[in-house]
Each structure stands twice: as structure tokens, then as C-alpha cells.
């Protein structure tokens, strides 16, 4: 016997129409690439999303055709999310920080029909348009007046003219909720990038999960700054969960330096923000230098790479902001776990709470996880055993776009490539990406543990711990450090800092100072590059 409830597919168009109807005056504020601040409402966004849908119909785009974006976080990008997916096409967000050739490769692989770009990225488009064999229409996200006449790019239109010619009435189509809605390529640290293809269903379930109190607890009382780019796993789903909850949404455009982020947070009374640790490093440095405090910020979601415990403490103790440490990946839409204390931990002392908060947190309902040993046997949740982390759930990929990489699931579970432990309360702790693990004399050393300790040293701005080949131990850890401006510290002082914090054999053999650590397109440390750079480094005693 089937239930007698309405069988309504979960579609992305419903999110924006819900927001327009129930939160018509809910604000969306964008710092535009033009430099000024743009303000409008969910009602306006819905109307313009419908214009986008009409414009795509006029181009004759078919169901599931791909529309690419090369754009910062802003209202036009937001409209594309809804107009493209809502009308049955697939919004394909491309990371503009990739090399132009990689952008062209991805656009060709995805067979994008339309590519919409912020004017900031005109140089990329000029460099690649002739190589993108499937793109028939180029849309510059600007007013017609801002479009130079001599770009040489064929079929180039200004977004405002393109959608301006269309009606803001549109009958959103109803189709199978499992249809593709959005496409995002992984950064491809190994091999070619692979596409994660999200569905309407997965996106809406993810938005529900994300908004839960034990996830990021999003509501119509929040003003949310999405620092995480809309080209990085759909800004971690915020454009969808924002429309679902009707929160105020603040989109920072291209200005992600500490000063710009701080000013926007204060001006828009931001209560919640989200981004990778490197962005917060810039913000905290700026605030410290200027002696500033927050007037409205309550919590910030930090993920994408491990958030150093020292940062969690600084946010809490110096600025009264709770860090929600989160873990996930492109293949997971991206949310897997978020760190919120449980009832039994609320009464614990501060230090015990910090120890929990440094972990990546508990699974959001919808995601299941397990850790396994080398033979695939499940390991206990004792907080000690570490193994390969596998996940499953309705917003986890079942395979990659066009079957790249072949069969990726193992008995229905997706292998994350991360190494982790899980404690009896269900808190996940990532110790490494499997390719970053340091194997010393048959034992594993967690590079994240070592970096977290180093980051607590007052002279250290950023630290990466990498494996260097060693004649006796196979590999030994080397610590690569960027010092804070003006800070002095010798290698011996930094190594001394590890005393009593980890076992002696886990302490790095050496420290090298560098001016900067290479960051990838999503702001993560590129340890592979560092490993290459320091492959020949002579460790003391080696």
C-alpha cells in the first residue's frame, strides 16, 4: 500500500518561488565587480531567474544542456543558478582560478552550450573562446554599455540586454527530480578533473540537511555571508539553503581580502559566514592589526581543509564567534559533517570542548560514514583507530559525469580518499588525505596534527607538514613554515614547541621557512608541489 501524500518532485525552481512568495522582501546584497553594492530581494531574484529561463528557451537549449559560469558570488550568478536549473538545464560552475587551458578542457568535456562570465574574466574568455568547440553563445554578466566592442568573441551578448528582452513570467517545467541540475568538477589533483553531477533531488535534500540546527542552523533570522565561492561546490549549497530559509544573503564578489570581508560583515550585520581557513586567516590578521571587533557575527563555518584549533580558539575568545568546523567534498554536494557539541559535552570544561570542536564533527542526517582497514573491514568508533573513510547517502555521487573513473563505489560506499577516526559520540576526525599521510618506519604520522600544533606557535602564520624520503625510515616529516610578518623564530624554537604535544618520533625532523605556500584553485595548500620542491631536502642526520 502506498502512502496517500502528494507526489511532488523536489525541484530547484520551487526554492526560488517559495522564497519569492514567503520571503518576498528577504534581502540579497552583492558587492558587484563594478565596485558598488547592489541590493534586491528574493522577489526580484525570482523575476530575473524567470527571464533567464525565457532567454535559454529562446536560444533553443534542450533539457539537460549545460550552461557554464565563470563568475564570482553575486546576484546575477544567483539568478543563473535558478534560471538554468529551474528550466531543466544544468548549471556548470567553472573555477576561474584554473589555468585557461584547464577551463577550456572542462568546458569541452562538459559540452557547455552557453558560457556566462564576469567581466573580470574577459581575458580568460578571450584566450579560450576559439578552443571551446561547443559554446555557441557567450554572455558577459554586465550592462550592454560595459561591453567593449572589439573583443573578437563571436556571439557575445551582455547579460542585462539578453534577459532584459524577456518576460519575467515563466511556467517552470515539472520533471523527474532525479534530473541533473548542476555540474562541478573536482580540482583534479590527480589526473583530469572529474565532474560531480548533482540532481534536483540531491540539491534539495542537501539544503534541508544543511539548514538543520546541528548542521549550520540557518534561518530567516540570519544574515549570511557566503565567502566560499559559488564555483566551489555551489558555495557549499548556501544559495539553495538561503532560498529555503529566507535568510538574508550577502555575496562578496571578488573582494575576499580581510578588510573587504570585515567591512561587508559589519555593514550587512552578518551573523553567519562560511569559507576555507585561508580566507579567515586574512580576516583575523586584518582585525588584529586594526584592533577591530565584530558587532553582529555569531558563527562561522570553516571547512575545505582542516581548521587549525588555534583559529577556533581565537574566533571564540577574541571575537565571541563560534566556529562550526565542517568536512565534505565536491562529491558530497559537499556537506558530510559539522561540529556542534552534544548535550553531554555542554557541561564539560572549556579545554575538553575545544578538543571536540577541533574535530570535523558529526554526520548530517542523510550521510552515513564508516572507516575501514586495508582489507575493507570496518574499524571501531573508538576515537583511536584510523582508516579509510567511506560515505553514502542521497547527496553523495554514484559515479562521475560521463563515467570518468569507471566504477567508483565499493559495495555502495564512496571512498573519500581521506583517512579518519570516529569517536564513540560519532565525531569524525580527519587525520589526512591518504596521499598526504607520512609513513615513517611503518607508522603513520598525521600531517594535519602536526600542522595544527605548529599553527598555535605565535610566530607561525601558515604551516604545511610533508613527507620527505628518508634512507632509514622511508619517510620523515618536514615542516614548511610561513612566519607572521616581523616574527622571529628559529627552526629549533619551533621544533621545541612540539615537546610534550606529540610522541617524539612524530616531531618533524626539520623546519624550512618560505615566503608563501602554494595554494590551489580552492584555497588549499598544494602539498604535492611542496613535496616536489623539497624532495631533495637533506634532513639532519639522514
Tell me which residues touch ligand ADP (CB under 6 A). 186-187, 233, 303-306, 325-327, 329-330, 334, 360, 416-418, 430, 433, 522, 524
The verdict on whether 330 is a catalytic residue reads: no
Given the residues 331, 395, 413, 451, the one annotated as active site: 331
Q: Is 331 a catalytic residue?
A: yes
380: number of Cβ within 10 Å? 12
293: cell is: 571587533
Which is nearer to ligand ADP, 303 or 309 (by Cβ)?
A: 303
Distances (CA, A) of 26 to 57, 217, 220, 250, 265: 28, 18, 8, 11, 17
- 439 part of the active site: yes
CB of 365 to ligand ADP, least distance (A): 19
Q: How far is the CB of 464 from ligand ADP (least distance, A)?
A: 13
What is residue 142's DSSP assignment?
S
Residue of 103, 104, 116 lying closest to 142 (CA atoms): 116
Bridge partners of 198?
A: 182
Calpha distance 191→535 (Å, rounded):
21
Closest CA to 264 of 235, 225, 222, 298: 225
Nearer to ligand ADP, 14 or 522 (CB): 522
Give least dist CB 307 to ligand ADP, A.
6
CB of 118 to ligand ADP, least distance (A): 21
CA angle 17/22/25 to nearest 5° reads 95
Q: Which residue, 73 or 305, is less far from ligand ADP as judged by CB?
A: 305
Please state, as a whole number, how many other Cβ atoms lie within 10 Å of the Cβ of residue 535.
11
Min dist CB 305 to ligand ADP, Å, is 5
Q: Is 444 helix (H, G, I), strand (E, B) or coil?
A: strand
Q: How far is the CB of 193 from ligand ADP (least distance, A)?
A: 8
Residue ranges with strand state E in 393-437: 414-422, 428-433
Catalytic annotation, pick one of 126, 435, 439, 501: 439
Q: What does each C-alpha distance from 42 to 78, 497, 522 come to in angstroms?
A: 10, 51, 28
Residue number with CB closer to ligand ADP (26 or 328): 328
The secondary structure of 82-121 as a DSSP string is HHHHHTT-EEEE--TTS-HHHHHHHHHHHTEEEEEE-GGG
Q: What is the CA radius of gyration of the chain?
A: 23
Closest CA to 47 of 69, 17, 26, 72: 17
d(CA 22, CA 356): 38
Between 76 and 194, CB nearer to ligand ADP:
194
Nine-digit cell string for 510: 626539520
Tell the smallest beta-carbon distance from residue 395 to ligand ADP (Å): 13
CA distances (Å), 70 to each of 65, 139, 198, 229, in order? 17, 10, 18, 11
Q: Which is nearer to ligand ADP, 104 or 326 (CB)?
A: 326
327 labelled catalytic:
no
Of 13 and 340, the one with the shorter C-beta distance to ligand ADP is 340
Q: Which alpha helices (DSSP H) does 145-255 contain, by range?
A: 159-164, 200-211, 233-236, 238-245
What minimum distance in Å lies between the beta carbon of 341 and ligand ADP? 16
CA 493 to the chain's CA centroid = 35
For residue 424 the three cell numbers come to: 564513540
Q: 96 or 334: whose CB is closer to ligand ADP?
A: 334
User: Cβ 434 to ligand ADP, closest distance in Å?
Assistant: 9
Residues contacting 315, CB < 8 A, separation 6+? 280, 284, 300, 321, 322, 323
> 86 or 334, CB closer to ligand ADP?
334
Residue (98 or 181) nearer to ligand ADP, CB: 98
Q: Please tell me the distance from the alpha carbon of residue 538 to that of residue 93, in angstroms, as a whole number.
A: 43
Catalytic site residue from 111, 288, 392, 444: 444
Q: Which of 69, 137, 186, 386 is catalytic?
A: 186
Task: Give min distance, CB of 59 to ligand ADP, in A.
Answer: 31
Can you list the positions of beta strands (E) in 339-413? 362-363, 368-372, 387-392
Q: Which residues are catalytic?
A: 186, 331, 439, 444
Amino acid at each position: 500500500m502506498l502512502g496517500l501524500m502528494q507526489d511532488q518532485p523536489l525541484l530547484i525552481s520551487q526554492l526560488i518561488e517559495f522564497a519569492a512568495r514567503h520571503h518576498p522582501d528577504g534581502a540579497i546584497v552583492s558587492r558587484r565587480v563594478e565596485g558598488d553594492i547592489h541590493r534586491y530581494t528574493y522577489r526580484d531574484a525570482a523575476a530575473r531567474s524567470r527571464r533567464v529561463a525565457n532567454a535559454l528557451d529562446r536560444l533553443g537549449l534542450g533539457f539537460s544542456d549545460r550552461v557554464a559560469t565563470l563568475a564570482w558570488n553575486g546576484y546575477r550568478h544567483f539568478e543563473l543558478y535558478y534560471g538554468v536549473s529551474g528550466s531543466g538545464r544544468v548549471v556548470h560552475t567553472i573555477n576561474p582560478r584554473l589555468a585557461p587551458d584547464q577551463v577550456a578542457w572542462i568546458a569541452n568535456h562538459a559540452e557547455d552550450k552557453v558560457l556566462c562570465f564576469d567581466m573580470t574574466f574577459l581575458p580568460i574568455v578571450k584566450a579560450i573562446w576559439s578552443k571551446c568547440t561547443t559554446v555557441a553563445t557567450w554572455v558577459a554578466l554586465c550592462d550592454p554599455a560595459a561591453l567593449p566592442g572589439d573583443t573578437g568573441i563571436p556571439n557575445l551578448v551582455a547579460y542585462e540586454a539578453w534577459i532584459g528582452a524577456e518576460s519575467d513570467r515563466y511556467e517552470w517545467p515539472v520533471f523527474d527530480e532525479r534530473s541533473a541540475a548542476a555540474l562541478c568538477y573536482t580540482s583534479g589533483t590527480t589526473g583530469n578533473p572529474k565532474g560531480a553531477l548533482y540532481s534536483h533531488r540531491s540539491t534539495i535534500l542537501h539544503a534541508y540537511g544543511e539548514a538543520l540546527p546541528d548542521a549550520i542552523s540557518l534561518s530567516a533570522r540570519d544574515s549570511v555571508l557566503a565567502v566560499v565561492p559559488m564555483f566551489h561546490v555551489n558555495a557549499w549549497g548556501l544559495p539553495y539553503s538561503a532560498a529555503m530559509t529566507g535568510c538574508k544573503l550577502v555575496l562578496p564578489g571578488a573582494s575576499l581580502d580581510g578588510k573587504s570581508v570585515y567591512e561587508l560583515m559589519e555593514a550587512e550585520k552578518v551573523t553567519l559566514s562560511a569559507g576555507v581557513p585561508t580566507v579567515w586567516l586574512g580576516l583575523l590578521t586584518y582585525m588584529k592589526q586594526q584592533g577591530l571587533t565584530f558587532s553582529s557575527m555569531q558563527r562561522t563555518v570553516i571547512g575545505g581543509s582542516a581548521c587549525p584549533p588555534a583559529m577556533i580558539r581565537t574566533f571564540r575568545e577574541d571575537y565571541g564567534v563560534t566556529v562550526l568546523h565542517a568536512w565534505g567534498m565536491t562529491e558530497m554536494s559537499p556537506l558530510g559533517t559539522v561540529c556542534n557539541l552534544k548535550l553531554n559535552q555542554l557541561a564539560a570544561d572549556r579545554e575538553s570542548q575545544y578538543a571536540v570542536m577541533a574535530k570535523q564533527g558529526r554526520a548530517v542526517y542523510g550521510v552515513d560514514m564508516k572507516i575501514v582497514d586495508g582489507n575493507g573491514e570496518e574499524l571501531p568508533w573508538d576515537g583511536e583507530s584510523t582508516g579509510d573513510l567511506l560515505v553514502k547517502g542521497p547527496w553523495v555521487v554514484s559515479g562521475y559525469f560521463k563515467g570518468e573513473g569507471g566504477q567508483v563505489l565499493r559495495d555502495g560506499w564512496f571512498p573519500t580518499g581521506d583517512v579518519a577516526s570516529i569517536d564513540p559520540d560519532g565525531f569524525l576526525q580527519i587525520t589526512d588525505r591518504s596521499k598526504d599521510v607520512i609513513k615513517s618506519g611503518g607508522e603513520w604520522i598525521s600531517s594535519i596534527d602536526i600542522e595544527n600544533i605548529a599553527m598555535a606557535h605565535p610566530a607561525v602564520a601558515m604551516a604545511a607538514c610533508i613527507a620527505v624520503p628518508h634512507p632509514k625510515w622511508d619517510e620523515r616529516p618536514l615542516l614548511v613554515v610561513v612566519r607572521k610578518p616581523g616574527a622571529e623564530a628559529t627552526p629549533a624554537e619551533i621544533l621545541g614547541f612540539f615537546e610534550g604535544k606529540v610522541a617524539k618520533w612524530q616531531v618533524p625532523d626539520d623546519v624550512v621557512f618560505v615566503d608563501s605556500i602554494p595554494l590551489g584553485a580552492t584555497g588549499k595548500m598544494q602539498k604535492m608541489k611542496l613535496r616536489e620542491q623539497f624532495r631533495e631536502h637533506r634532513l639532519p642526520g639522514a
